């Protein structure tokens, strides 16, 4: 969700609460806002708990990850897809890598915490 939209909804809830029920309405709106924030925090913790059980930078199939990626995907959603924390390649621009057992890897560039672009790198085929 866009942060500006979230803040606007929170302000609207507080305004409607005040207009409808005064202080009890404010208390109810505040309770709803805190509940929403706790839901978002719980979601983040669940994703990180799942990622903690896998090796850093590992994904079952880099090709499948490449197929599932799209622009503006949040870093949290990428971690949820891979079930693993990525291996940092560079800080500026922010680039992370996930690799599979076959030697293929996906490097994802994030801008403002969102996927901007990605590249699939495959190992050279062995000559027979």
Domain total for the chain? 2
Output DSSP code: residue 47.
Answer: H
Query: What pLDDT, on the 0 to 100 scale, is given for residue 52?
Result: 93
pLDDT of 26-66, one tens digit each? Answer: 999 999 999 999 999 999 999 999 999 999 999 999 999 99
What percentage of residues in the chain have a pLDDT greater than 90?
A: 91
**Residue 93 belongs to what domain range?**
62-121
Same domain, 75 and 117: yes
Same domain, residue pair 85 and 109: yes
Q: pLDDT band at 3, cuts 50/70/90?
A: confident
Tell me: do 46 and 9 sit in the same domain.
yes
Q: Are residues 42 and 81 in the same domain?
A: no
Question: 39-72 as b/e, with b when 16 or more CB fall inside 10 Å?
Answer: eeeeeeeebeeebeeeeebbbeebeebbeebeee
> Which of 128, 69, 122, 117 has its CA nearest to residue 100?
122
For residue 117, being part of any structural domain is answered with yes
What was the pLDDT predicted at 91? 95
Residue 106 has pLDDT above 80, yes or no: yes
């Amino acid at each position: 969700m866009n942060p500006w939209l979230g803040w606007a909804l929170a302000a609207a809830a507080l305004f409607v609460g005040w207009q409808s029920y005064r202080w009890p309405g404010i208390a109810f709106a505040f309770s709803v806002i805190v509940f929403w924030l706790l839901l978002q925090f719980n979601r983040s913790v669940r994703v990180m708990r799942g990622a903690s059980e896998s090796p850093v930078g590992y994904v079952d199939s880099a090709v499948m990850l490449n197929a599932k990626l799209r622009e503006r995907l949040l870093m949290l959603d990428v971690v949820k897809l891979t079930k693993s924390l990525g291996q940092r390649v560079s800080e500026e621009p922010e680039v992370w890598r996930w690799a599979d057992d076959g030697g293929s890897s996906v490097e994802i560039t994030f801008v403002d915490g969102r996927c901007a672009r990605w590249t699939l790198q495959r190992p050279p085929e062995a000559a027979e």
